[in-house]
């Protein structure tokens, strides 16, 4: 059933982050990633990593889900930061044959790993706590200033909205067609690659036909409901910035100041 297919990675819940205004969430996540990219000293990285960890806790989504969703990329990151270890410049700390490890190499590899890890966690946090619909509406509001430079934001958002609704329906229909063709004796898993591609023709063609019919009927129904006939549309969905959003903004602001301030502090000098 179409109901089984959930788009995106939204995990329903009622945490502080779930209740935040999607506009604020999207913008702050983006801003946090910028901050992550500017952090390079150990103290700055620690600040932002601790903050990321607090975010994960505040989303009240089990850490398991985060690991499951980011594990593979994270393993790749560790590997690349491991390589970074050997490409430092300056005084070698450790030398063995052609392998030299310098202090800057160590810092580089830690910085790269921590940055990518934080960014992944921040984006996962956003994805997990924002439904596809909220995301669309949030983006709509954020992008609305683009209207002034001639980008038709409304049309783009309408396209996304319709896709969100029809992707599950189309997937379901594809399954129906596959089953219908199988019940007539079609065999999808036989022969070489070319045979297999050919065996998809009886699926793709009816799917195209039915999708075009759908599109035609939908556009007619939309036209009957006055779509595109009046200049400006209004919107049912409305977001209000709450206390949680303001709090989050202040917090991210403080983090930014902290990161910039600590970027020039060397942990070695403090100790």
Partner 1 sequence: MIELRNVSFSAYDEETSQNNYILKEINLNIYKREFVVILGKNGSGKSTLVKHFNGVLIPTSGDVVADGINTKDEDKFCEIRQKIGMVFQNPDNQIVSSVVEEDVAFGLENLGIPRREMVSLVDNALKCVGMYDFKKSSPNMLSGGQKQRIAIAGVLAMNPECIVFDEPTSMLDPEGRKEVVDTIQNLKKGNGTTIVLITHNIEEIFCADRVIIMDSGRIVSEVTPYEILLDKNYMRMLGLKATQSIDLFYKLAGRGINLPFLTADEDKCADMIVEFLEEKKCR
Residues of this chain that bind partner 1 (CB under 8 A): 1-3, 132-133, 161-162, 164-165, 168-169, 214, 217-218, 220-238
User: Which residue, 227 or 247, is less far from partner 1 as judged by CB?
Assistant: 227
Nearest approach in angstroms of CB 244 to partner 1 is 21
Residues 6+ away with beta carbon under 8 Å from 122? 29, 32, 33, 36, 52, 55
Nearest approach in angstroms of CB 2 to partner 1 is 4
User: Which residue, 115 or 141, is less far from partner 1 as judged by CB?
Assistant: 141
By DSSP bridging, strand 92-96 and strand 99-102 are antiparallel
Nearest approach in angstroms of CB 119 to partner 1 is 29
Nearest approach in angstroms of CB 230 to partner 1 is 5
Taking the C-alpha atoms of residue 101 and residue 107, their distance in angstroms, rounded to an integer, is 11
End-to-end CA gap in the chain = 61
Q: Return the structure tokens found at 84.
A: 């970074």
Percentage helix, strand, coil for the chain under 3-state DSSP, each rounded to 5: 70, 5, 25
Nearest approach in angstroms of CB 228 to partner 1 is 7
User: Which residue, 218 or 250, is less far from partner 1 as judged by CB?
Assistant: 218
Taking the C-alpha atoms of residue 189 and residue 144, their distance in angstroms, rounded to an integer, is 48
User: Which residue, 175 or 201, is less far from partner 1 as judged by CB?
Assistant: 175
User: Which residue, 40 or 239, is less far from partner 1 as judged by CB?
Assistant: 239
Nearest approach in angstroms of CB 16 to partner 1 is 20
Q: Return the structure tokens found at 63.
A: 């850490």
DSSP string, 70-84: HHHHHHHHHHHHHHH
Nearest approach in angstroms of CB 10 to partner 1 is 12
Could you tell me which of 131, 31, 136, 161 has the C-alpha nearest to residue 144? 136
User: Which residue, 3 or 268, is less far from partner 1 as judged by CB?
Assistant: 3
Residues 6+ away with beta carbon under 8 Å from 17? 25, 55, 58, 59, 125, 129
Could you tell me which of 42, 189, 52 has the C-alpha nearest to residue 108? 42
User: Which residue, 63 or 220, is less far from partner 1 as judged by CB?
Assistant: 220
């Amino acid at each position: 059933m179409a109901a089984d297919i959930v788009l995106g990675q939204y995990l329903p819940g009622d945490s502080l982050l779930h209740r935040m205004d999607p506009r604020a969430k999207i913008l702050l996540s983006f801003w946090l990633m910028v901050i992550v990219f500017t952090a390079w000293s150990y103290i700055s990285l620690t600040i932002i990593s601790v903050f990321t960890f607090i975010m994960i806790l505040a989303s009240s989504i089990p850490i398991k889900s985060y690991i499951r969703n980011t594990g593979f990329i994270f393993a790749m990151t560790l590997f690349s930061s491991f390589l970074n270890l050997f490409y430092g410049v300056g005084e070698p700390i450790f030398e063995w044959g052609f392998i030299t490890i310098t202090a800057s190499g160590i810092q580089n590899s830690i910085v790269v790993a921590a940055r990518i890890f934080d960014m992944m966690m921040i984006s996962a946090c956003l994805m997990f706590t924002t439904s596809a619909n909220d995301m669309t509406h949030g983006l709509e509001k954020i992008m609305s200033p683009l209207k002034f430079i001639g980008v038709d934001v409304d049309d783009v958002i309408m396209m996304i909205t319709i896709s969100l609704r029809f992707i599950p329906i189309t997937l379901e229909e594809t399954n129906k067609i596959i089953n219908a063709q199988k019940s007539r004796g079609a065999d999808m898993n036989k022969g070489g690659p070319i045979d297999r591609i050919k065996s998809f023709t009886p699926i793709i063609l009816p799917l195209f036909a039915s999708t075009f019919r759908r599109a035609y009927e939908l556009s007619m129904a939309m036209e009957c409901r006055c779509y595109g006939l009046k200049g400006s549309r209004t919107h049912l969905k409305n977001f209000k910035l709450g206390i949680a959003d303001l709090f989050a903004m202040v917090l991210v602001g403080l983090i930014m100041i902290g990161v910039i301030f600590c970027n020039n502090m060397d942990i070695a000098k403090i100790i």
